[in-house]
């Protein structure tokens, strides 16, 4: 079963002459464990698609199924729980809480959900992310690369089934950018997560299992790279 399935998805913003059709009847299936890169020009609908996959916005029409659940059939409350437990978001800007330490930022989603922190999982995550020496630092005491590692930790804390990343390296130099992508690849593989990542960087896209190109709200190319079998 495909972990993410979208059917005839449409999203428009505004009305009348200011109406923008950001996604036009898009259908797509993404399998569990797949690393998918989404590429395309600015304004083509990439972020809109990612937001709809993660339950942060509602489509104008069409369906999104994650693990077989029709997510836009859920109530607002159920959708919020779905987002917190099933989806990990990583953005270009790290959106960390400035008064919380690295470790507190990572465990925040669990605390918000009144869940016990799994110490073993947390240790493993902090180590994979190379943050063991920095766990008690505040975000403004960390470099950009380290802050992005914390935001990856926060996205992975709940062991979500899908990880959605919107230009996660857009703000980093090439060395940090490579490290972040390597980390994401290692961690999603380890936890068998599906990674859907928007990028303008063709070098990053070429590392994905599949590259989906969006133009003007439509999927214009959907290419399997063959990396998965390497
Ligand atoms: P991309 O991520 O590929 O740059 P987006 O999904 O952000 O593209 O945007 C697709 C189109 O939808 C663009 O024309 C953009 O201006 C428009 N758009 C996105 N979000 C909104 C919004 N909240 N209100 C109005 N228009 C929007």
Q: Read off the pLDDT of each residue in 117-122 and give the average, rounded to a whole number.
A: 89
Using CB distances shorter than 6 Å, the residues near ligand 1 are 13-14, 20, 22, 40, 42-48
Over residues 123-173, the pLDDT tens digits come to 988 998 899 999 999 999 999 999 999 999 999 988 899 999 999 999 888
pLDDT at 176 over 50: yes
Question: Pairing mode, if any, of strands 210-215 and 4-13?
Answer: unpaired
Question: Pairing mode, if any, of strands 20-30 and 4-13?
Answer: antiparallel
Burial class, 218, CB count within 10 angstroms (exposed 0-12 / middle 13-18 / buried 19+): middle
Distances (CA, A) of 142 to 98, 145, 148, 151: 11, 8, 9, 12
Output 11 or 170, whichever has higher pLDDT.
11
The answer to whether 167 and 94 have CB atoms below 8 angstroms apart is: no
pLDDT at 1 over 50: no
pLDDT at 9: 98
Mutate to test the pocket of ligand 1, among 10, 13, 14 (most ligand atoms within 8 A of CB): 13
The residue contributing the CA closest to ligand 1 atom 6 is 45
Nearest atom in ligand 1 to the alpha carbon of residue 217 is 10
Over residues 93-104, the pLDDT tens digits come to 889 999 999 999
Question: Pairing mode, if any, of strands 69-70 and 162-166?
Answer: unpaired
Domains and CATH numbers, the chain: 4-224 (3.40.50.300)
pLDDT at 159: 86
- Mean pLDDT estimate for the chain: 92
114 — pLDDT class (breaks 50, 70, 90): confident
pLDDT at 115 over 90: no
| DSSP class per residue in 140-195 | GGS-HHHHHHHHHHHHHTT--SEEEEESTTTTS-HHHHHHHHHHHHHHHHHTT-EE
pLDDT at 128: 87
The residue contributing the CA closest to ligand 1 atom 23 is 13
Closest CA to 126 of 141, 144, 104: 104
**Token output for 67:** 């693990």
């Amino acid at each position: 079963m495909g972990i993410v399935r979208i059917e005839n998805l449409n999203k428009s913003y505004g009305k009348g002459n200011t109406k923008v059709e950001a996604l036009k009847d898009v259908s797509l299936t993404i399998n569990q464990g797949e690393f998918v890169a989404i590429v395309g020009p600015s304004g083509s609908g990439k972020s809109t698609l990612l937001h709809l996959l993660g339950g942060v916005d509602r489509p104008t029409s069409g369906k999104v199924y994650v693990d077989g659940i029709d997510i836009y059939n859920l109530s607002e409350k159920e959708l919020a729980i779905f987002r917190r437990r099933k989806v990990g978001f990583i953005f270009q800007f790290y959106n960390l809480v400035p008064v919380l330490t690295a470790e507190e930022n990572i465990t925040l989603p669990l605390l918000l959900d009144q869940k016990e922190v799994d110490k073993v999982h947390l240790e493993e995550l902090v180590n994979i992310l190379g943050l063991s020496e920095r766990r008690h630092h505040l975000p403004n005491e960390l470099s950009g690369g380290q802050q992005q590692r914390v935001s990856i930790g926060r996205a992975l804390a709940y062991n979500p089934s899908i990880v959605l990343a919107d230009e996660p390296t857009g703000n980093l130099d090439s060395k940090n950018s490579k490290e972040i992508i390597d980390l994401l690849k290692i961690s999603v593989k380890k936890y068998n997560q599906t990674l859907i990542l928007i990028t303008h960087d063709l070098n990053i896209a070429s590392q994905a299992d599949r590259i989906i190109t969006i133009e003007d709200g439509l999927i214009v190319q959907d290419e399997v790279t063959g990396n998965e079998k390497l």
